[in-house]
Amino acid sequence: MPDHDRPSLPEDRLGQLLKRAQAKLARASAEALAPHGVDGHELTVLAVLSDAASLSQVEMAGRIGVDRTTMVALIDGLEDQGLVARRRSPWDRRKNIVELTVAGQDCLSRAEQARRGAERRFLAPLGEETAASLVRALRVLAGEERAHG
C-alpha cells in the first residue's frame, strides 16, 4: 500500500498536532498562573479591561468570545477577589460598568508576565525565527487579518 493511500494515524493529523500543542501550552500556562490566583479566562478579562479602561459585561463577552451568561460567573469570581469592580452605568442603568481595581492591575502585571514566560519557554525549542514564522502562519490559519502585532 503506497504511503499516500494509507490513512493518517492520529499522531500525523494536523488537527491532533494543533490540539496537543494547545493542550500542552494550556497546562504550562495554568501552572504558571496558579500562584497568581487567576486562570486563563480571568487573565484575559483583566487584559481586555486594561486595554479598554471600562466595558459593560456584554461588551466584554463580545471581545472575549463567550456568552454573556458565561461572563457573569467570570466577573463574579474576579469581583470576589477584589480584582475588578462593578457599578451601574448612570447613563444606562441596565448596564454594569466593569473596571480594574488597583489590586486587579497589580495581579494583571504579575500574571501576564508569568503567562508570557510560559509561552516563551513553550516556544524555546523552536528558535526565534521558527517561532515567529509559526505565529505568522497561525495568524493566517486562524483567520487573523491584522497585519502585524
For a copy of itself, the binding residues (CB under 8 A) are 6-22, 24-26, 29, 40, 44, 46-48, 50-51, 63-65, 108-109, 112, 115-116, 119, 122-123, 125-126, 130-131, 133-135, 137-144, 146, 149
Q: Which of 4, 69, 80, 148 binds DNA (CB under 7 A)?
A: 69
Question: Can residue 44 be called a binding residue for DNA (CB under 7 A)?
Answer: no
> Which partner from the list DNA, a copy of itself, none does 69 bind, CB cut-off 5 to 8 Å by kind?
DNA
Q: Per-residue x/- marks for DNA, 88-117, CB under 7 A?
A: ----xxxxx---------------------
> Which partner from the list DNA, a copy of itself, none does 35 bind, CB cut-off 5 to 8 Å by kind?
none
Residue among 57 and 107 whose Cβ is closer to DNA: 57
Q: The C-alpha cell of 69 is what?
A: 451568561
> Which partner from the list a copy of itself, DNA, none does 130 bind, CB cut-off 5 to 8 Å by kind?
a copy of itself
Residue among 51 and 129 whose Cβ is closer to DNA: 51
How many Å apart are CA 86 and CA 31, to the nearest integer? 29
- Cβ(101)–Cβ(81) under 8 Å? no
How many Å apart are CA 137 and CA 126, to the nearest integer? 14
Residue among 76 and 106 whose Cβ is closer to DNA: 76
Question: Can residue 41 be called a binding residue for DNA (CB under 7 A)?
Answer: yes
Neighbours of 55 (CB within 10 A): 20
Q: Which residue has the cell 514566560?
A: 117
Helix (H, G, I), strand (E, B) or coil at 106: helix
Burial 9-47, CB ≥16 within 10 A → b, else e: eeeeeeeeeeeeeeeeeeebbeebbeebebbeebbbbbb
